[in-house]
Amino acid sequence: MNGILRVKNVTQVFESGSGPRRDRVTVLKDIDFEVREGEFVSIIGPSGCGKSTLLKIIAGLITPTEGSVEVPSAAAPGSLPIGFVFQESVLLPWKTALGNALFPFEVMGKDTKAREPGVRDLFRLAGLSGFENYYPKQLSGGMRQRVSIVRSLSYDPALLLMDEPFGAIDAITRDSLNDILLDMWRETKKTILFVTHDIAEAVYLSDRVIVLGTKPGRIIEIAMVDLDRPRNEDTKLDPRFYGLVKKLRERLK
Amino acid sequence: MKRPGHVGRILSAAALPAGLLVVWKAATLVFRLPTTFLPPPEAVASRFISLIGSSVIQKHFSTTAVEIIFGFLCAAVLGVLAGYILAKFAVLEKVLSPFILIFQTAPKISLAPLFVLWFGLGLSSKVVLIALVAFFPIMLNFMVGVRSINPDYLRLMKILKAPLLKRVVKIEFVGSLPFLMTGMRTALVLSVTAAIIGEMMGAKSGLGFLLMNGYEMYDIPMVIGVILAISFFSWALDTAMKVLQDRLLFWHESADRM
Amino acid sequence: MKRRDLWIRFLSFLAAAAAVAGWHFYVTLGKVPAFILPGPEAVARQLISMVRDGSLLFHMGITSAGIVTGFLIGSVLGFVLGYFLAKSRVLEAALFPYLIAVQATPKVTLIPLFVIWFGLGLASKLLLVVLSAFFPVLLNTVIGFRSVPREYYELMRILNATERQMLYKVKLPLSLPILMAGLKVAMVQAVIGTIVAEWVSGKSGLGYLLVYGSTQFDSRLLLAAIFATTLVGLFFFWIIEIIESRALFWHESKIILEEGL
């Protein structure tokens, strides 16, 4: 396949409670789409519509009730197919930023020293040069998320999944993090699947935007984002930008 | 999601103790333990009931309860006062902090015999010990609580030209309540332990004294009965405090889930 | 601010000196009988003579040995059991409320029972200290493991980590703050347990000295014993604090309000 990711007819039903009061919630229904190599695709939708669940199914953390997901196999020995960035930075507080970024290799039992130069390069891309030996408690929220992103890219995954990574960050920092993310994406040529509730953010970052509904969560639309790259401040002044944002907002109602 | 009914909850809560009782009884039967070692539950129960009948338990229980009430109240009043003063005068707190630290972490129960020497075998020696023990958690927690009040609230009160007392009570006291409750809950458990230990050390009545009585007479059913009574009492007080805490602090994103 | 800190240190020292001086003057001017409250020099002399004849160190040693042994055994048992308990959701949920309930009860009430069962010797004392340390550590181990945020589990699964890696690399270090808090409580309880056990069942140790001084109305001995007990209690608590600050160098400082008895 020339696509990196293939989601086939995924349906996810959650059950809670027991006996006569058993609740069945269809969180996702018939989700079907494809992501091509090097694409940046966003998933947007109202809260509770299962976007995070979908991402976790793709990551292999949840087995879908129905349907299947095809992900690429590991590119090379010493790497894993998927990288995941959470909303919380999920760093190990007793390790330095560099230690955290090298942690996947520690888990895989690979030589971390050998991997250091590559990771340091990622730090540079993320604008964190000089902060490698800082501890998480010494870093701001935005910086911690950047470390988390570096960590997820450190082992060269074929697919990067991001679950509202900037959701807990303030708006100003978020804008600069968006640009840093685009820089890193451009340099590393990764395939990214990005979940967010911020429509403008999704349009700014992506090639395509998947709009998810709720109750049940199904794909309402997959929109092409036709704006020029590289994206910057001017992109946001482009009438096509907020035209698309407005249109997507309508679709979500 | 259906919640188990009240009956169901009480049943499941009683499950483990009931199970232990069964195991206890079974052990005495299976191992043929001499009653001088481990009497069966009925023996303990009947001994305990006879103690109630002769008003022994009530007498000693009320002694312990009175000690705890007085000691705890003293500690609460003094602790709140001291905590407030230390919260407001940071320099004083810094100067006194080594002493506070020492007093707080040192085993204060070692003072029990000294207090008996000074105040006799009556209730006062225990009340002093309890007050000393309960004082620190209350004072420290209240101090931290007052300090943690967002200064904007105080400024707001100043702008509204609220009188000092109102400011203190409405904002500072209520705002520190979560901390104070935590401190008081800790202090209460410590108070019970201090009371019992103080009575074991030297007393004329009280549950700890009764425990030592039973011990000296090798009256195992009574010893076990008193142990269970003390444990239940301590647990009941802590639970009552927790309920009070939950009621008073329903508005607070409660940090304390224990 | 260095100057200010020095000034505060000096004031603290001054306060301590004033307290001792106050004690001295109260005793001499108030003509307090020596058997009620001896003055600071009398207590100091008592302490020195007890150090000289080795008795102080002997009893301190006995008590310390009891504390350390009971604490170590109780903590290890508590931790191991806590680990296994945390593995079974069902068992943990069922037992947890009881663990909390037991924490609210004074374990020292058990010493008379233990002495009746096991005699006056070391066994009953050790058993009490072990139990005193066991429950706080068990409880906090369970709570600590519970407190690991879900995302860390997810991260480790994405990285294809093994159960063992999850435990050693993530679960244990993340639970450490709560575990250390439990160890502090356990140490305080162990000290109390040792002293009370020595009161009731001992023929040596600081607890025994306290009883002896009390029954003999020897208030100098009593005060010396109180001083020594305070020293021992502070010392062991301080050791745990040092371990904690080393182990938790990475931890964001929290307000952990300790309890003391």
Cross-chain residue pair A94–C173, CB shorter than 8 Å: yes
SS3 per-residue string spanning B8-58: HHHHHHHHHHHHHHHHHHHHHHHCCCCCCCCCCHHHHHHHHHHHHHCCHHH
By a Cβ cutoff of 8 Å, what residues of chain C touch chain A?
149, 151-152, 154-161, 165, 169-170, 173-174, 249-252
Helix (H) or strand (E) holding C128: helix C122-146
Contact C170 A107 (CB under 8 A): no
* Residue C24 pLDDT > 80: yes
- Lowest-confidence range among A37-41, B148-152, B222-226, C125-129? B148-152
**The pLDDT of residue B22:** 85
The alpha-carbon gap from B1 to the nearest alpha carbon of chain A, in Å, equals 5
Q: Is B254 on the interface with C (CB under 8 A)?
A: no
Q: What pLDDT does C259 receive?
A: 45
pLDDT band at B5 (very low <50, low <70, confident <90, very high): low
CATH topology of domain C44-247: MetI-like fold (1.10.3720)
Average pLDDT over residues C249-254: 71
Query: Pairing between strand A3-16 and A66-70?
Result: antiparallel
The reply to whether C62 touches chain B by the CB within 8 Å rule is: no
pLDDT of amino acid C257: 44
Confidence of residue C255 (pLDDT cuts 50, 70, 90): very low
Residues of A with CB below 8 A from B1's CB?
16-17, 21, 23
Whether the per-residue pLDDT at A3 is higher than 70: the answer is: no
Each domain of chain C, given as residue ranges in start order, spans: 44-247
What is the predicted pLDDT for the residue at B255? 46
Can you list the domains of chain A with their CATH numbers? Answer: 1-72+159-170+190-253 (3.40.50.300)
State the average pLDDT over residues A13-23: 70
User: Which band of pLDDT confidence, cut at 50, 70 and 90, is reported for residue A220?
Assistant: confident
Residue A124 pLDDT level (bands cut at 50, 70, 90):
very high
Q: Say whether residue A140 is in contact with chain C using an 8 A CB cutoff.
A: no
Instruction: Report the pLDDT averaged over residues C16-32.
Output: 88
Beta bridge partners, A44, equal: A196, A211
Residue C159: φ, ψ to 5°: -85, 10
Domains by residue range for chain B, with CATH: 51-248 (1.10.3720.10)
End-to-end CA distance of chain C: 34
Q: How confident is the model at residue A75 (pLDDT cuts 50, 70, 90)?
A: low
Average pLDDT of chain B is 86
Q: pLDDT averaged over chain A?
A: 87
**Burial A18-44, CB ≥16 within 10 A → b, else e:** eeeeeeeebbbbebebbbeeebbbbbb
With a cut of 90, say whether residue B126 has pLDDT above it.
yes
Give me the pLDDT at residue B109, please.
93
Q: What's the farthest any 2 CA atoms get from each other in chain B?
A: 77
Query: What are the pLDDT digits (tens) for C184-193?
Result: 999 999 999 9
- pLDDT, residue B36, reads 73
* Residue C220, both tokens: 């100098």
pLDDT, tens only, C193-250: 999 999 998 789 999 999 998 888 888 899 999 999 999 999 999 999 999 999 888 8
User: H helices within chain B, ranges in order?
Assistant: 6-30, 41-53, 56-88, 90-105, 112-119, 123-147, 151-159, 164-166, 174-201, 207-216, 220-248
pLDDT above 70 for C260? no
pLDDT in tens, B88-104: 898 899 889 889 999 98
Please indicate whether residue B78 or residue A233 has the higher confidence score (pLDDT). Answer: B78
| Confidence at C256, pLDDT banded by 50, 70, 90 | very low
Q: Report pLDDT digits (tens) over C103-137.
A: 889 999 999 999 998 888 899 999 999 999 999 99
Q: A226 exposed, middle or buried (CB, 10 Å; 0-12, 13-18, 19+)?
A: exposed
How far is B202 from chain C, CA to nearest CA, in Å? Answer: 9
Give the closest residue to B181 by CA, choosing from B144, B149, B152. Answer: B144
pLDDT digit string, tens, across residues A141-153: 999 999 999 999 9
Least confident window among B16-20, C96-100, C234-238: B16-20
* Inter-chain contacts counted by CB atoms under 8 A, chains A and B: 9
Q: What is the predicted pLDDT for the residue at B256?
A: 46
From A224's Cα to the closest Cα of chain C, the distance in A is: 30
A158 chain-C contacts, CB cut-off 8 A: none
Could you give phi then psi for residue A130, rounded to 5 degrees?
95, -10
Helix (H) or strand (E) holding A193, with range, is: strand A191-196
Terminal C-alpha separation, chain A: 35
pLDDT interval class at A1 (50, 70, 90) = very low
Give the Cα-Cα-Cα angle A208, A212, A213 (nearest 5 degrees). Answer: 150
In this predicted structure, what is the pLDDT of residue B257?
A: 43
Taking the CA of residue C154 and the nearest CA in chain A, the distance in Å comes to 7
pLDDT in tens, C148-169: 999 999 999 999 899 899 999 9
Which of B99, B110, B241 is the best mutation test for C, with the most CBs of C within 10 A? Answer: B110
* pLDDT value for B42: 85
Is A168 near chain C, with CB under 8 Å? no
Report whether pLDDT(B258) > 50.
no
The first and second tokens of residue C70, run together, are 């009971």
Q: Which amino acid, B214?
A: G
